[in-house]
Structure 1
Amino acid sequence: MNTYSTSEIAHSIGIHPNTVRLYEKLGLIPKPERKENGYRIFTDFHMEQIRFVRIAFKIEILQNGLRKQAIDIIKTSALGSFSKAICLTKHYLEQIKNEQKNAEEAIEITKKLLSGSNQEAGTTFLTRKEAAGYLQLSIDTLRNWEMNGLLTVKRKQNGYRVYTDEDIRRLKIIRSLRCANYSLSSILRMLNTLSRNPEADIRQAIDTPKENDDIISVCDKLLTSLHHAEQNAIVMLSQLEKMKKQFSENPTL
């Protein structure tokens, strides 16, 4: 098995030597043996494991513990437990697919709710507490959505907010999309787009941040992010299969 110094392995992969040391400190690669002078000795297994780390960290997925799963997979691979890492990655891929399904279902629910927006409005008037109870949301959640501009609620003469049928329909849309992990900014973007053009493409509106947005998170383009995460997980599986063939389980370093 070939051996490498810290600078050699860093140069080969295209990262800073300090990144290699950080991966070692975090347990993302095995601790290398050292020469008598204290210099680290890296092997082909370290080389492929670092490549695997770079693949796994290429996509930023934070929701529902996916990030933690990716780290667990990396650490399992670092121990040379490739078969277990492959099983964990398959589970990781399955959860990503479930997240995609939830995201798509939320859009379909949104379409159905919006299709009834032209129905004759009823005479329902709920207080904030009643609306929260009806939708099974906390009052703080409703307050947060209003503060972020997702909903503007009318008030009675006494100053109390009242939620109409149209407000409840809009809140159901927001709730459905938030449960699927769409960001508040992406939901607001979609709602504003639809208010200007009711015929606008919902999927495009919710998945396409504005060019002048200062900060864009993965959940601001959730559909695209999950698609990339799925493709990335497939590449992770391929790398693990390669390592399993190239190295024995729990290789001696």
Structure 2
Amino acid sequence: MEIYKTSEVAAFIGIHPNTVRFYEEWGLIAKPERDKRGYRMFTDLHVQQIRLARMAFQMEILQNGLRKKIVQVVKASASCDFDRAISLTREYICKLQKERFNAEEAIETVHDILSGETSGSGCLMKRKEVSEYLGITMDSLRNWEMNGLLTVKRRKNGYRVYTDEDIQRLKIIRSLRCANYSLEAILRMLQQLSKNPDTDIREALNTPEQNEDIISVCDKLLVSLDEAERNAETILKMLQKMKSQWGQ
């Protein structure tokens, strides 16, 4: 059995030696034994556990307990409970597929809203009325307005009034937020739609612009979910190989 120093493991994987120590401290790899001088002794198992952890956290999807699930996968691998790790990975993949279904469904909902009749009732609604009508909290409405997703007209007395067009826009925002698209992605799509009604909604939601300073996974949700699922399939194969080599 090959034995490696911390620096050697770090060099294999291309990380700082302190990162290897952090992985041990956080319980993401098995605790290495130490030699007579107190130096850590890493094996090929530790190398594979670190590679698996790096693959798992390469694309972190936070919503609906997905991050917690992938952490459980890594920690099960660290404890060499490969059967549990494999089971958890399969559950994780199913959850990713469900998130993708929700994201795709939201896009279809947007298409349906945009292709529907926009005449409406012609009645003007106050913020509280809109909140109750759409099942959206007042805080969400304020947040969406503050982030530029919606500009609401005011009466002379200062009260906001929402038109049928505003309601339609809010339905679109609500559908996409329920599917965990980011505010930035939704704003990008709405801006492109205002310039070109024939904008490809899927592409607009999943293609951040070059001038966006910080890009999160929810700013390109479908792309991120696809990549996370591919990574998870790779993790599954890694775990099956680890089980055959180091399983009890």
Whether these two folds match at TM > 0.5 is: yes
Matched position secondary structure for 1:3: coil
User: What are the Cα deviations for residues 97-151 of structure 1, in whole angstroms up to 9, with x where unaligned?
Assistant: 000000000000000001125x434322111001001111111110110111111
Give distance in 1, aligned partners of 2:61 and 2:122. 43
| Residue of structure 2 in register with 1:180 after alignment | 179
Identity over the aligned pairs, expressed in percent? Answer: 60
Question: Which stretch of the first structure deviates more once superposed, 103-112 or 53-62?
Answer: 53-62
Instruction: Please report the TM-score for the alignment, with normalisation by the length of structure 1.
Output: 0.95
1:84-123 aligned within 5 A? 84-116=84-116, 119-123=118-122
RMSD of aligned Cα (Å): 1.1
Matched position secondary structure for 1:212: coil
| Residue of structure 2 in register with 1:57 after alignment | 57
Give distance in 2, aligned partners of 1:75 and 1:121. 53
Letter in 1 for 2:217: V
| Residue of structure 2 in register with 1:211 after alignment | 210
| Residue of structure 2 in register with 1:138 after alignment | 137
User: What are the Cα deviations for residues 192-234 of structure 1, in whole angstroms up to 9, with x where unaligned?
Assistant: 1001000110111111111111111111111111110111110
Give distance in 1, aligned partners of 2:185 and 2:121. 29
| Residue of structure 2 in register with 1:43 after alignment | 43
Matched, 1:128 2:150: no
Give distance in 2, aligned partners of 1:163 and 1:46. 59
Matched, 1:27 2:3: no
| Residue of structure 2 in register with 1:229 after alignment | 228
Give distance in 1, aligned partners of 2:8 and 2:136. 55
Question: Which stretch of the first structure deviates more once superposed, 73-82 or 159-168?
Answer: 159-168
Matched position secondary structure for 2:235: helix
Letter in 1 for 2:74: I
Q: CA deviation at 1:28?
A: 0.4
User: What are the Cα deviations for residues 76-100 of structure 1, in whole angstroms up to 9, with x where unaligned?
Assistant: 1111100110000000000000000
Letter in 1 for 2:246: F
Question: Which stretch of the first structure deviates more once superposed, 16-25 or 57-66?
Answer: 57-66
Give distance in 2, aligned partners of 1:179 and 1:106. 8
Letter in 2 for 1:152: T
Matched position secondary structure for 1:18: helix
Letter in 2 for 1:10: A
What number of residue pairs does the alignment pair up?
248
Give distance in 1, aligned partners of 2:94 and 2:15. 31
User: What are the Cα deviations for residues 131-187 of structure 1, in whole angstroms up to 9, with x where unaligned?
Assistant: 001111111110110111111111122211111111111101100000000000110
For the Cα contact (< 8 Å) 2:69–2:92, is it kept in 1?
Answer: yes
Larger RCO of the pair (alpha carbons < 8 Å, separation 6+): 1
Give distance in 2, aligned partners of 1:70 and 1:121. 45
Q: CA deviation at 1:11?
A: 1.3
Give distance in 2, aligned partners of 1:43 and 1:233. 24
Give distance in 2, aligned partners of 1:63 and 1:242. 29
| Residue of structure 2 in register with 1:154 after alignment | 153
Matched position secondary structure for 2:42: strand
Letter in 2 for 1:31: K
Give distance in 1, aligned partners of 2:247 and 2:70. 22
| Residue of structure 2 in register with 1:11 after alignment | 11
